[in-house]
Amino acid sequence: MSDIGVAVQEEAVGIHARHVLVLSQAMFFCCLVACFLIDHGAAAQNDGISFYGVYAPTILILVVGFTCAAVGLWRTASYFARTDAPAFSVVGLRVLALGLVALLVTPFNRGTFLNWAHMTAGVSMSLVQLGIVALLLMRRRTFSSVCGLVVQLAGGVISAASLPDWHFGYLLQGETLFEIGFGLCLIQWTYAVLARSEDVVSARSEG
């Protein structure tokens, strides 16, 4: 296959991967909005997104949202694996996909062990997300990626301030902002790896 054919094929694969990612993220946030509309009281504000995984009327909705997000993350990792994306981003996305399952099977209100397991999974996933975004900014610093980082950091600060007993019950909003920021940056990652692939093909053609 010619370099032009390779470039066209890679672009088609990249666009498809981006569509899968956008659709899966949209499904996740739609489910989150549905959960919010069902209950956004004090318990949800204090416990964050995890509240919807233990609140009977919203458990199934959150499972659907997390499943869609996990599939999108895993598919995106598979796409990144065939590009020159850093290995950490590939492994990290798969860790995040599995982490969503871990959050569902460790209800925080079922004892100390599950509570700690749930928190450990959540914090670890947040650190992985920040690492993936940091790699993005090293590769492609655009207005959209910087905005995504700002939104993510704002959500992280709000979430951190809501965890201690400081009577600042906005964990739900903080976590939601954090995920929105990460989603924006992750979509930018698909542009970054596709642009890099096109540059490589172009260099080969010129050579």
Confidence grade of residue 10 (pLDDT, cut at 50, 70, 90): low
Listed residue (76, 10, 48, 70) closest to 156, CA to CA: 48
* Residue 63, in any domain of the structure: yes
Residues in the chain: 207
State phi, psi for 84 to the nearest 5 degrees.
-95, 20
Range of the domain at 59: 3-194
In the block, tokens 């400081």 appear at: 166
Q: How many domains is the chain partitioned into structurally?
A: 1
Confidence grade of residue 108 (pLDDT, cut at 50, 70, 90): very high
For residue 163, the 8-state DSSP code is S
How far, in Å, CA of 53 to CA of 31, rounded?
Answer: 12
For residue 55, the 8-state DSSP code is S
% of residues, the chain, pLDDT over 70: 87
* Residue 95, in any domain of the structure: yes
Q: Can you give the pTM of this predicted structure?
A: 0.89
Q: With DSSP H G I counted as helix, E B as strand and the rest as coil, what are the percentages for the chain, rounded to 5?
A: 85, 0, 15
Instruction: Identify each DSSP E strand in 40-80 by its residue range.
Output: none
* Residue 79, in any domain of the structure: yes
Q: What is the pLDDT of residues 48-81, one digit of tens each?
A: 999 999 999 999 999 999 999 999 999 999 999 9
pLDDT for position 195: 67
* Residue 207, in any domain of the structure: no
